[in-house]
Amino acid sequence: MPVLKIENLTVSFDENKVIDNLSFSVQKGDVIAVVGPNGAGKSVLFRALLDLVPYLGKIEWSPGLKISYVPQRFNVEKDFPLTAREFLRLKSKDQRKIMSALDSVGLKNQNIEHHLLDQRLGWLSGGQLQRVLIAWAILDNPDVLLFDEPTTGIDVGGEETIYNLLKKLNDEMALTILLISHDLNIVYKYANSVLCLNKEKICFGPPNDVLDPRALAKLYGGEAGFYAHEHQN
């Protein structure tokens, strides 16, 4: 039994189809990357999976699954009066769980956790805030994590750290992860399956099998040569 089965999913806004007749399934422990150009329906797909937009077709999750979501952007003003500790305690009052989650995202053993936890969210660096958001996401031991471009606004070194963290969580907790990414190098390195989406399904399967020049040309048009060249290097 897959943890997620999607059949003939169609999402429209004002008669404009954003996702058209999409079908695929997800197995437990999969890391699936969703790729495609801007406006391809990637974030809308996540919103449909979270039942935040109306849709036609079927989205069937395994019964009893816990699903957590980290958005593409979480903009916090510097004067927003909530510390990282207070933010995490909104979800759990169990200090052991909070420390365990911080440990999982690589913050507990850096001798900065107490200092960081007492900082306002708006004072954290992009990488620190993203780790706190992931800690929040795993506090209740979810079965599935949805990440909408998890490294938006983070420098290249920080991107690698975040993706290594996601791989670690997948390995250690058998988490099923769906992530949106624009970087095909990341897809080849971390995902066991890729969904190529441009309003409709262009391809789905292991990256090395389905990301061929024809699929890339259909997905990205004139940019396909750049993406193919990136992978060859």
Kindly report the number of other CB atoms within 10 A of residue 75's CB atom. 9
Q: Domain residues for 113? A: 74-140
Backbone angles phi, psi at 185, to 5 degrees: -60, -40
Amino acid (one-letter) located at 21: N
In this predicted model, which residue has the larger pLDDT, 71 or 30?
30
Of 171, 165, 178, nearest to 26 (Cα)? 178
Q: Indicate if 58 and 78 belong to the same structural domain.
A: no
* CATH code: domain of residue 9: 3.40.50.300
Q: How far apart are CA 14 and CA 5, in angstroms?
A: 26
Residue 225 pLDDT: 42
Q: Indicate if 172 and 149 belong to the same structural domain.
A: yes
pLDDT per residue over 58-107, tens digit each? 999 999 999 999 887 677 778 788 888 899 999 988 888 888 888 877 77
Q: How far apart are CA 94 and CA 97, in angstroms?
A: 5
Q: Indicate if 5 and 54 belong to the same structural domain.
A: yes
Q: Indicate if 56 and 79 belong to the same structural domain.
A: no
